[in-house]
Structure 1
């Protein structure tokens, strides 16, 4: 049974989420403070985290940042602060998605199912050790779907699910220019309305990570007013 960690300081909201996720056959755990979440995640390794932005002790953005230092576990941020900067900051720190309060618990369950289905699909593709490969200026760029890893020159980095999907889409068709709406449709398959800046935020984070294993090389290029392309 897949295990969902709920980090939420409002007991009524947490109880509602636990009931709906439980009815969808997920096992749930609940923490009501940001303190100690990272240690809990290291120890218990949940399948997905629902993380409230405003938490006592330590806010959700700081918790997200800490978790991303060691784990690619999917994180959906829950927030009542709808300002665009908060959404973008959450994504730049490594969140996979966000849901604004007040929300329908059915929507939360649907989002959880969508992300876990994508992870399951990646796991199935990874059976037998399948990878995506591309030569970037002589350096082999290898994507490991099972572990959400990218490797080049003997070094590797861990991506979030969204970052991995974006890089895989771009890498499979080098030189092709993808519009932001095309990339959004590959990442957010539930046809929701997503700001172009959300994709820009994910791409910014992805570029920063790739620079760690491909120093001095630019492989994801912006095409003004159009979108992005992968081209070593």
Structure 2
């Protein structure tokens, strides 16, 4: 029997939790609903979770704090769909900057959340199309960094591990597979998320900014990822690929 994907919903509204867990269960998913961060940690410590649906406006520890905690260095990568009762663009940008893989404003239809969950899970689990047919290499070295493609994290020259969100990993992986080639925002969206650019196409710019922060790279004095005005981005460092020994 095929394993059910386990979706953990963190929302302090019991009606929303019951509605969503019931709906997702009817769609063939395993769904668990909890009210706060303490219960979230208990579930994560007890059993595997494939994706987290996290409300931004929780009482007590809010979704912002919990998202930061889940994206801290050393934490395993867990896809996150963030929810908010507010629809301001600033909230959406904040969610993406914190490392959420998608963002949904309340009120929403349960089937829309299901579509977002399926899309994020699909993107998380697939290699970019341009590299799917290649033999994966365990490590990609560039400058002072090494990307471990098995553990999906960065390692600096001193051996310190830098965790990446699923979205950050996919973007960096695509850039490393296309060094010295200018990639437009549309191309990056298609390669990393399997979709065309929409009205809110700043997600790639936000991801680029986050990956640059991980690498200690700046937009003006960039060593790794350069911005090509009106065209896109280019990874400009030589790359050495090696297998794990």
2:169 to 159, 164, 177: 164
Between the aligned partners of 2:209 and 2:194, the Cα distance in structure 1 is 21
SS of equivalent to 1:88: helix
Structure 1 residue 34: Cα displacement: 3.6
Partners of 2:186 and 2:196 within 8 A in 1:
no
- Further displaced range: 17-26 or 158-167: 17-26
- Further displaced range: 32-41 or 175-184: 32-41
- Alignment root-mean-square deviation, CA: 2.7
Q: TM-score, normalised by structure 2?
A: 0.80
SS of equivalent to 1:157: strand
Q: How does 1:95-174 map to 2 (within 5 A)?
A: 95-122=100-127, 130-131=136-137, 133-137=139-143, 139=144, 141-144=146-149, 146-153=150-157, 154-174=159-179
Aligned position for 2:49: 46
Instruction: Extract structure 1 runs of 4+ deviating beyond 6 A.
Output: none
Aligned position for 1:92: 97
Between the aligned partners of 2:204 and 2:176, the Cα distance in structure 1 is 16
| Residues 1:18 and 2:60 are matched in the alignment | no
Between the aligned partners of 1:219 and 1:132, the Cα distance in structure 2 is 20
- What is the total number of aligned residue pairs between the two structures? 223
**Structure 2 runs not aligned, ≥5 long:** 238-245
Partners of 2:123 and 2:194 within 8 A in 1:
no
Shift in alpha-carbon separation, 1:35–1:121, aligned structure 2, 3 A: same
Q: TM-score, normalised by structure 1?
A: 0.84
Shift in alpha-carbon separation, 1:201–1:30, aligned structure 2, 3 A: same
Between the aligned partners of 2:201 and 2:38, the Cα distance in structure 1 is 33
Partners of 2:174 and 2:192 within 8 A in 1:
no
Between the aligned partners of 2:57 and 2:23, the Cα distance in structure 1 is 22
